[in-house]
A and B are shown apart, each in its own frame.
Chain A
Amino acid sequence: MSTEAPVLEVPIPAVPPGQAVTWAGGVWSGLVLVLSLLAARAVFTAGPVRSLFGIVYVDSLGALMLVLIALVGLMATLYAGSYLRHEQKRGQVTALQHLHFFGWFHLFQITMIAAVVVENIGFIWVAVEATTLVSAVLVGFYNRRESLEAAWKYVILCSVGIAFAMLGVILLYTSGVHAGLDHREALNWTSLMAIAPNLNPAVVRMAFALALVGFGTKAGLAPMHTWLPDAHSQAPSPVSALLSGVLLNIALYAALRVELITRQASGAGFTGNLLLTFGLVSLGIAALFILVQRDLKRLLAYSSVEHMGLVCVAIGLGGPVGLSAAVLHMVCHSLVKPVLFFAAGNLGHRYHSYHMERIRGACRAMPLTGGLLIAGALAITGMPPTSLFLSEFGIVAAGFAAGRAWASVVVLLALAVAFAGLLLHVKEMALGEAPHGIQIGEGLDWRALPLLVPLALAVLLGIWMPPAVADALRQVAAMLGGGL
């Protein structure tokens, strides 16, 4: 901010406002992470936690989401500090915009947290819609033509989608009331689960179809994904990381709550087939679009569509193997995708562009970022020893176990295409000589942490899973299997 200005009389604050905001944000996000971990420990050792007159309710699935939001949130906050400071130094962002950014950024995290700590499906809907409204402001943050276009498409398409999900919520509520639930608890997830066999199966199936289309729009499932590459590529990189890394999971989480009820009410066939169909379509479309991308952040966005498709396929196939793979996959995608967006943000700052043909010799110009880009790309395409290899292996195995070998074959084909496409693009960017005029060299300091920590965790989970984590993931998979 004022560090470079040759000001003599005006007193310069000891800590520039931008830095103070970064610190405050970091401390706050760190606190959120500690609290989330404590809550998760309570949930995973002693069962679901309920408080605040029964409004707040965290079970194992919610606790897992909570930890992911808080962990990626802290990393994104740390990264956003250095990211915005860079843009402020170059005059792209004013000090006031910097402040605004952090306000909206943390509000965005709070709305995401709100979505996973309530059991009332109406509240979940309200929180998910709130995430759209708040993050749309962040998508349009740069006020450029492209970012405004992306933000507008995002807010309109997701709001329409989620309006249809509301219709599903209303149908669910109606069937709950008809089955004898009190008005006050007919939207509570636990109450609906308890009386699920008494719900009208036809109505609940319709509710699920609407909820899947609605929340699926927000989870980026094809063919409702068209807003996603725009929004995720136009948002500032720390926001892209949250949008891709955690928000997609939360949208899926909302659909899964309805799915669990529907499965209890009408059997796994209907919901499984619907999830499998949407998942395979998303997987296929995303794999093809990954091949032909020219923009680095759009490439990563399509990869997110691919991975949400994979999670849907895994849940659709079901069985213990499929469900554990789905849970592990959500976790690993949340860890690795932000790293890639952070690396993309660094490259964008250095090369002044996200056009992949302009990014050359990344490993030479930015050894750390370039190396992490390659490592992240290997991880996200499911190379061993990262944990995504385990989950993708599990998904393919689940297809064979469920007697749907054809689904496994489609998954393998799409994975191969996405693998080839992504690694080809990354190889072109990372290796070779940097273009003339690009600054060479990159310091190693705390700013590398948000890139290193999640990637290290993803690798660790692939090599040796701490017993506590393994137990937690097992509990979540059991819950997705139909337990409370």
Chain B
Amino acid sequence: MEMFTYALLTTVLAMVAVQNLYLMVGLAAVQALLLGAEAAWIGWQHGDTALYWAAALTVAIKAVVIPLFLRYIIRRIGVIHILDSTLTVKVTLLIAIGLTFVAHYATGALAEVGGIESEALAAALTLVLIGAFLMVSRRVALTQVLGLLVMENGLFLAALATTRGLPLLVDVGIFFDVLVGALVMGLMIYRINATFESIDTSKLRRLQG
């Protein structure tokens, strides 16, 4: 259990550090794989078959279908390196580590008032915060989709950590949204690239006021 949590944290910090889009997608896939494994493990411990389904869906959608689709988009638009990050890698990593601490203390506070205690919840909140941070700190549109995926992974982990996951039907609905969302955003990136000849979102600033 703890091993999974630390491995998850490693993948998200690595995502913050790398500059290659293929590598980022690969790390997101590994993260989803770990998440699936953790769900299956908890399911096995508690004899909860619904979690097997959730684990299978996590792996199928977040570790296979979406990464393959994002790789396809990267190949089509031909942008592989993120060279235009607004912050240097060192600063981004420092901020990400800072967010890890913030998440840890926030969960501590939650444990005090709510009696919800869990190491995994701290990791989940870390994923959500770093995912949001990835979305605002990187300008390449594709990293924003990846940031959103990291946030979703964090939410899944949060539910897993607090209550052994949401009801399966709700999870299925969320997976459906994630899948459709990735498809819609991917196609939008494709169109943005065709129209702006770039996927640098800092160029999206015509609308103001």
Contact = CB atoms under 8 A, between A and B. Distances in A.
Interface of A: 120, 122-123, 125-126, 129-130, 133, 136-137, 140, 143-146, 148-153, 155-156, 159-160, 163-164, 166-167, 170-171, 173-175, 177-178, 183-184, 186-187, 200, 202-203, 206, 229-230, 233-234, 289, 292-294, 298
Contacts of B184: 133, 136-137, 155
B108 to A, nearest CB: 14
Given A130-B176, A170-B163, A289-B209, 9 more contacts: A122-B170, A122-B174, A133-B181, A159-B181, A167-B158, A170-B162, A173-B166, A203-B113, A234-B207
B126 interface: no
Contact of A152 (B116, B173, B192, B209): B192
Name the prevailing secondary structure of the A interface residues. Answer: helix
Contacts of A123: 169-170, 173
A133 B177 contact: yes
Contacts of A155: 181, 184-185, 188
Given A152-B192, A155-B185, A160 B163 contact: no
Contact of A149 (B114, B151, B176, B207): B207
B132 A160 contact: yes
B157 to A, nearest CB: 10
Interface residues of B, number: 43
Interface string B188-209: 1001100110000100111101
Q: Top 8 closest A-B pairs, CB basis?
A: A122-B170, A126-B173, A202-B113, A203-B114, A149-B204, A174-B162, A230-B207, A163-B151
B135 interface: yes
B109 to A, nearest CB: 9
A187 B206 contact: no
B144 interface: yes
Nearest to B172: A126
A178 B115 contact: yes
B148 A160 contact: yes
Given A159-B181, A167-B158, A183 B188 contact: no
B167 interface: yes
Contacts, number: 136
B155 A170 contact: yes
Contacts of A150: 207
Name the prevailing secondary structure of the B interface residues. Answer: helix
B192 A293 contact: no
Given A129-B181, A155-B188, A146 B176 contact: no
Interface in B131-159: 131-132, 135, 141, 144, 148, 151-152, 155, 158-159
Given A122-B167, A202-B114, A143 B141 contact: no
25 contacts: A120-B169, A122-B173, A122-B174, A126-B177, A143-B191, A143-B195, A145-B196, A146-B206, A148-B204, A149-B204, A155-B188, A156-B135, A160-B135, A163-B131, A163-B151, A166-B174, A167-B128, A170-B166, A183-B163, A186-B167, A187-B170, A203-B110, A233-B207, A234-B207, A289-B209
A200 B166 CA distance: 19
Given A133-B177, A152-B188, A160-B148, A184 B114 contact: no
Given A152-B201, A159-B181, A160-B135, A170 B159 contact: yes
B94 interface: no
Contacts of B115: 178, 200
Interface of B: 110, 113-116, 128, 131-132, 135, 141, 144, 148, 151-152, 155, 158-159, 162-164, 166-167, 169-170, 173-174, 176-177, 180-181, 184-185, 188, 191-192, 195-196, 201, 204-207, 209
Given A156-B135, A203-B113, A206-B110, A184 B167 contact: yes
Nearest to B175: A126
A174 B177 contact: no
Given A133-B184, A159-B148, A203-B116, A148 B191 contact: yes
B9 to A, nearest CB: 18
Nearest to A176: B163
A129 B177 contact: yes
Contacts of B128: 163-164, 167
Nearest to A166: B155
A174 B165 CA distance: 10
Contacts of A183: 163-164, 167
Given A145-B196, A174-B116, A203-B113, A136 B188 contact: yes
Contacts of A187: 166-167, 170
A52 to B, nearest CB: 12
Contact of A293 (B169, B196, B209): B209
A145 B206 contact: yes
Nearest to B106: A206
A202 B109 CA distance: 11
Contacts of A136: 184, 188
Given A143-B195, A152-B141, A163 B148 contact: yes
A111 B29 CA distance: 29
Contacts of A175: 114
B34 to A, nearest CB: 19
A167 B116 CA distance: 14
A127 to B, nearest CB: 8
B136 to A, nearest CB: 9
Contacts of B155: 163, 166-167, 170
Nearest to B192: A148
Contacts of A234: 207
A155 B180 CA distance: 12
B158 A170 contact: yes
B95 to A, nearest CB: 17
Nearest to A202: B113
A146 B207 contact: yes
A151 B188 contact: yes
